[in-house]
Structure 1
Amino acid sequence: MITAHPSLLRDLIERCETLSGCVATHPSADTVRRLEDAAYTLCVVTGTRELDTALFVARRQMAAAMRRHQPLHP
């Protein structure tokens, strides 16, 4: 099975979490669109259909990569 590089997963997780917080506190059409784009990308790279599931799978894949000592690039 092909998986995304952990640094991409980390970036997408952080982006989704940040944008989710922004949408919750100060929603705007641009922020909602950016969250939808990030969520879509995360779902595609994790093979899922919902953001919560994508976040779970991405975190699990990152943990597995850390166990294999695969380096994360900043």
Structure 2
Amino acid sequence: MLLPSPETLRNLVARYEELQVRHSEEGSYETARCLEDITYTLCVSTGTRTPEDALAVAERHLAQAELATATPSDVALTA
């Protein structure tokens, strides 16, 4: 399955989290609609059906991307 770039995925997760907070504070129709839209986009982008699954996939993908771009000095080996 193809996933969006880490930057795009970070932006989707950030927008989702922002809208979750706004919706809990405002509860307006507009905020609810925006939250539904970003939830749909996040789920489609990660190939999942629920926001919880989408966030889990995003977290794993972003962690893998971070490991892949780590420089040798960023990695500490332990015994």
TM-score of the superposed pair, with normalisation by structure 2: 0.83
Q: Which runs of 5+ in 2 are unaligned?
A: 71-79
* Cα distance between partner residues in 1 of 2:67 and 2:2: 17
Runs of 4 or more, structure 1, over 6 Å off, are: none
Equivalenced residues, count:
70
1:59 Cα deviation after fit: 1.2
Q: Bigger radius of gyration, 1 or 2?
A: 2
Hey, what does 2:56 align to over in structure 1? 56
Superposition pairs of residues 4-19 of structure 1, within 5 angstroms: 4-19=4-19
**Which residue of structure 1 aligns with residue 36 of structure 2?**
36
In 2, distance between residues paired with 1:46 and 1:30?
24
Partner of 2:3: 3
Alignment root-mean-square deviation, CA: 1.2
Q: Percent identical across equivalent pairs?
A: 43
TM-score with structure 1 length normalisation?
0.88
Answer 1 or 2: higher relative contact order, Cα 8 Å, separation at least 6.
1
